[in-house]
Structure 1
Amino acid sequence: MNTQGIDATKARHELIRTPRNSSIELLRIIAMLMILSHHFVLHNGTSLADLPMTPVREIFAFLFLGAGKIGVTIFFSISTWFLISSEQSIKHNFRRIWLMERELLFWSLTLLIAFTLAKKSLLSPTMMLNSVFPVITSLWWYASAYASFLAILPFLQYALLAMGPKRHTQLALMLLLVFGPLSLVPYPTIFGIYITNVAGFMYLFILLSCYKLYLKQFNVKQLWILMASGLLIGVLITVLKDAVIVLMFADNTPTSW
């Protein structure tokens, strides 16, 4: 596609900026709470995997442990939804990365000082280096992955616009058909290799941009049906996984799989 075609595609999908939506901000808060619940269960004093495989443990794992992954997806998707409608530039995105770096540097040094005063044994050369360079050392994985995504985004957006509706839709459909079913398998697959960090953000951006730019948006009823269907599939997979574990291992049932 030539430059004129790309400019025409951009103009066709350019949207007017709208004020902040309180419902979206509420959804962002819910996503953060879901992420906190994930960390509470995963990094608790007693690991969830060390507990006996009981219905209570499975409920905690389903509602809280899995909520973190969903929360990250929601949180990123909210930001991405607005990035899709605006033209991305290398200069602007690196300015955003620099602003994020300064904010993270403030908090990383503040936490370093606080934890050092509370317990000096935590101070180490590695911790100091990570605190001074929080983004490039991946002190917090989401921030580092998001910064990397912002650096790639102008090129990714240009490539997707150059593809046009047909190729973009084909790419999104191919990725969805490959990684969608694999995400439901309760066992390590290539899904865990490719759909993580920056690659996962690119995956979500390709799907969301295709939906927003070219497809008819779902109404509220359809969205509730999708959410209910996803919840039902998750419950069925959890029950099936536990049943298989019990049948396969009988008297020597493992705590996790």
Structure 2
Amino acid sequence: MDSQSITKKKRDANIELLRIVAMLMIITLHFNYRSNALLVLGEPASNVQLFATILEAIAITGVNVYVLISGYYLSSSKVRLSKVLLLILQVYFYTLLISGAMMIVGAYSVKPEDKLDRALRYLFPISSEHYWFVTAYVIMYVLAPVMNAAVNTLKRKQLKTVIIGLLTWFCFIKSIVPVKFGTDRMGYDFGWFICLYLIAAYIRKYNIVLFRDAKKSALVYLISVVVIAAFSLVFYKINFDTGNFNYYAEVPCHYNFFFALTGALGLFSVFRFMRLKENLLAEVIRIIAPYTLGVYLLHMHFEIADRWVEWIEHIIGETPLDNVLMFFIHLVVSVLIVFFAGIFVDWIRKYIFNFFGRVLGDTRLFRFIKRVDDDLC
């Protein structure tokens, strides 16, 4: 597999660079949240909190972009059983190995009444949403053959109608109605991922030029960022003064908010227009990009997600929440530490998987999986 080895063709370095940028955005979102740097409704705002809100608007498109990239590639490829199994095994590698390591070093602690819930999170990480992103991603991945069949069968107008219908349900209505609907998961679910997948598949199948050129695409992204930041700050202020809009004040930073979608499409379009030279940099990008999912699986493990900011603080000092420049420097260093640590760990994971693949490659189980893959091609 790995989950990232979707096709045998050489990946476009520009899109692979975007995959890296998207993961850096995602880590930034997590750092802002875990370091308590974001605005708190009803409480006075500091300069760092205002700055972090702007960073949030810049980075909130990361998840949507990452899923768009997956849909863009998967929609034109065969989803083999081996790829699905290796994706699931990759998740188990992190959930079980990290939990075991935490137990060995004595950092694992759980209340007796929580033992069963914790065990379920580790033994059934996808069903229990150990990682909400992975649960949604795996379901999308498994449904990819069905969606690909639909994309290849439906007429262009029919596919466009389906996408518009899904966007109306998941995005348009929730973006303007200031109340929370029972079916709205704020983009934290496979329904929204399926919507993004179909958008990416439509773009690829019909080679859609979204915003004419790179400059206009960048403008769409920047306008989306400005609108998200402005909405966040305006409704924070309204809530602070009146106590109203407790829910809608957070909507601009939901993944299925309209401008989070337009921002993602704008950024995706910028990198589609980009052309990187075929040199050492392009090869390094292609080498690093496949390990980005491992970065997520490492730092968002249940035992690590609430601790990694604190661990980094032991190395580079406490997060400065009273100085914007120092906060930004601390954020950049922290994000890079997490990113490259995750790349390194997933690189090791790949070599372990490759070793077992060579050792077990001629077993009955592996031959069966290969036959199934051949039948699916």
What TM bracket, shorter-length normalisation?
0.7 to 0.9
Distance 2:72 2:142 in 1: 17
| CA drift at 1:141 | 1.6
Match among 135, 139, 144 for residue 135 of structure 2: 144
Identify the residue that residue 230 of structure 1 maps to in structure 2.
Answer: 224
Identify the residue that residue 33 of structure 2 maps to in structure 1.
Answer: 42
Aligned runs of 1:1-257 on 2, under 5 Å? 18-44=9-35, 48-49=39-40, 52-64=44-56, 66=57, 69-88=60-79, 92=80, 94-116=81-103, 117-122=105-110, 124-176=115-167, 179-182=170-173, 184-185=175-176, 187-190=178-181, 192-193=184-185, 195-214=187-206, 216-218=208-210, 219-249=213-243
| CA drift at 1:18 | 4.3
Distance 1:236 1:47 in 2: 15
Match of 1:77, SS state, is helix
Equivalent pairs counted in the alignment come to: 233
Q: CA RMSD in A?
A: 3.2
Match of 2:196, SS state, is helix
Describe the superposition over 1:223-248 as per-residue Cα deviations: whole angstroms up to 9, x where unpaired.
11211221232233234323433553
| CA drift at 1:202 | 0.7
| CA drift at 1:30 | 1.6
Calculate the TM-score normalised by the size of structure 1.
0.75
Percent identity for Structure 1 against Structure 2: 20
Shift in CA distance, 197/249, structure 1 to aligned 2, threshold 3 Å: closer
Question: Aligned letter for 1:236?
Answer: A
Distance 1:45 1:118 in 2: 26
Match of 2:155, SS state, is helix
Describe the superposition over 1:55-87 as per-residue Cα deviations: whole angstroms up to 9, x where unpaired.
5313313313x5564211111111111112224
Distance 2:177 2:102 in 1: 37
Distance 2:220 2:73 in 1: 22
Distance 1:33 1:187 in 2: 30
Distance 1:182 1:62 in 2: 24
Query: Gaps (5+ residues) in structure 1?
Result: 1-15
Contact 1:186 1:241 in 2 (8 A): no
Calculate the TM-score normalised by the size of structure 2.
0.53
Question: Aligned letter for 2:121?
Answer: N
Indicate the structure whose relative CO is greater, using CA pairs within 8 Å and at least 6 residues apart: 2
